[in-house]
Amino acid sequence: MVKGLKSHVTGAIWDVDLAALPAWAGAPVRLVRILYAVVRDLGDGMLSLRAMSLVYATLLSLVPLLAISFSVLKGLGVHYDQLEPRLLDFLAPLGEKGVEITEYIIAFVERVEVGVLGAVGLGFLVYTVVSLMQKIERSFNDTWQVTRHRPFARRFSGYLIVLLIGPVLVFLSMGITAWVMGSDAVAALTAIQPLGALVELAGKLVPYLLIIAAFTFIYVFLPNTRVGVRSALVGAAVAGFLWETAGWAFASFILGSTKYTVVYSAFASLILFMIWLYLSWLILLVGASIAFYHQHPEFLTVRRGELRMSNRLREKLALLAVFHIGRSYYQDLPPWTAAGLAQSLHVPAEAAESVLGALEHAAVVRRTGDDPPAYLPARPLETTGVKEVLDAVRAADESTHLDIGKLPAEPAVEALIGDLERGLAGVLEGMTLKDLAVSAEAAGGAAVERLPGKAPPRRAG
């Protein structure tokens, strides 16, 4: 009975064709699929492992990060007594332990004098902070199935911009919010009903809105891929609600955790601080996962596993990729990105990147220096044969320790493989990527039909 019920529920969620449903009917099914995928990922443990890794990196980099941020703000006339309430807000769920930890952190930061560290000390300080941000970026790239990382120079410059401008923006947003809520105009509106109730409600919503705005910025900026603002906002809204709710729940837990103080003694504050850091990172990663599935519904499957493609699928994807890249090149259209090709071909981005990587390795296509990179022909299309594309994806991922040349040679097998290669070469003899790219125009938008063993039509130029 349980198996039958589970099969019925699974079929109701995953066997439905969302394209055939109206938007209002497909939205709940899509929402359930996203929730199912996120819970499945939590069960797999990868999100938890990334969150624990970020907790360790945060503990090592927290004081240097705050020292650099406070130094930037101190240069703008902001003092420690103005920054301490902001840190208390983050650690508010820890209750009295949060006040104690804040005092320790502020004391550590006050002892760090950036001006007297010297070149080596300052370099180590910056490296510690940059390594934390690099680990955060890698965690988000893993969530977004991104295998390529930004060049080091671009990452370093981006991190420095965040370190220099981020604290200023955070402090200004909180300061402006406090100033607006404490102004005489708002006080006058509070005395007028029902405007007073609306102002009070707005004051309660402001923390949520600030957290959602911060999370949206993180989701858009950190992954090395183009993240839609709408998807980032969806993930940030869920993560912001979870973060505020978790803070309330964790504060309630702290009030009843006097036994932990007795058991762990002086370590209780550190342990509770690590637990709160873990929950914060886990919620942030869960929001990123929601944003990813919202933008890429093709990854919403019953089971999550390693991407595997058959040989014929890789070959067709490669031909479609060079067809689109070549046609855009000849029609002077914007070049294709991996994400654009994946969306156009209705395949996961990982599949498109795998095929494009094989073609790039074979010098059939090349990446531009844009962010994100686009793909262009690596050499003239009229001199690049279609068979080279098929050979590139067929030989992809062959390693030195498992090479086709190391397999034993059996005469019958070698003869058969030779016949297959000669047959393929005969069918594709003389056909270039230019023939493939312009075939749609020649056939009025349809691919040119060819008979086996016939040479392809050659085009002038």
User: Average pLDDT in the 243-269 region?
Assistant: 71
In single-letter form, the type of residue at position 254 comes to I
What does the pLDDT look like over 104-153, one tens digit per residue? 777 776 766 655 555 666 677 777 777 888 888 889 888 888 877 777 77
Nearest to 327 by CA among 377, 379, 270: 377
**pLDDT value at residue 308:** 75
Nearest to 351 by CA among 312, 305, 317: 317
Judged by average pLDDT, the poorest of 37-51, 156-170, 349-363, 395-409 is 156-170
Residue given tokens 């929950």 in the structure block: 279
Other beta carbons less than 10 A from residue 60's beta carbon = 13
pLDDT band at residue 170 under the 50/70/90 scheme? low
Q: How far apart are CA 411 and CA 407, in angstroms?
A: 12
C-alpha angle 371-373-379 in degrees, rounded to nearest 5: 150
CATH topology of domain 311-442: Arc Repressor Mutant, subunit A (1.10.10)
Nearest to 164 by CA among 76, 63, 54: 76
**pLDDT value at residue 283:** 93
Percent of the chain with pLDDT over 90: 11
Three-state DSSP state, 377:
strand
**pLDDT value at residue 58:** 86
> Regarding predicted confidence, which is higher, 165 or 435?
435
Domain ranges of the chain: 2-32, 45-299, 311-442
pLDDT at position 82 over 70: no
pLDDT band at residue 169 under the 50/70/90 scheme? low
Three-state DSSP state, 407:
coil
Cβ–Cβ under 8 Å, residues 114 and 122: yes
Q: Is the dihedral of CA 217, 221, 223, 226 positive or negative?
A: positive
Q: How far apart are CA 313 and CA 319, in angstroms?
A: 10
pLDDT band at residue 458 under the 50/70/90 scheme? very low
Residue given tokens 């100033």 in the structure block: 179
**pLDDT value at residue 59:** 84
What does the pLDDT look like over 307-358, one tens digit per residue? 678 888 989 999 999 999 999 988 889 999 888 888 888 887 778 888 998 8
Phi-psi region of 191 (alpha: psi -120 to 50; beta: other; left: phi over 0): alpha
What does the pLDDT look like over 37-52, one tens digit per residue? 888 888 888 889 999 9
pTM, two decimals, is: 0.69
**pLDDT value at residue 399:** 64
pLDDT at position 75 over 80: no
Backbone angles phi, psi at 364, to 5 degrees: -90, -40
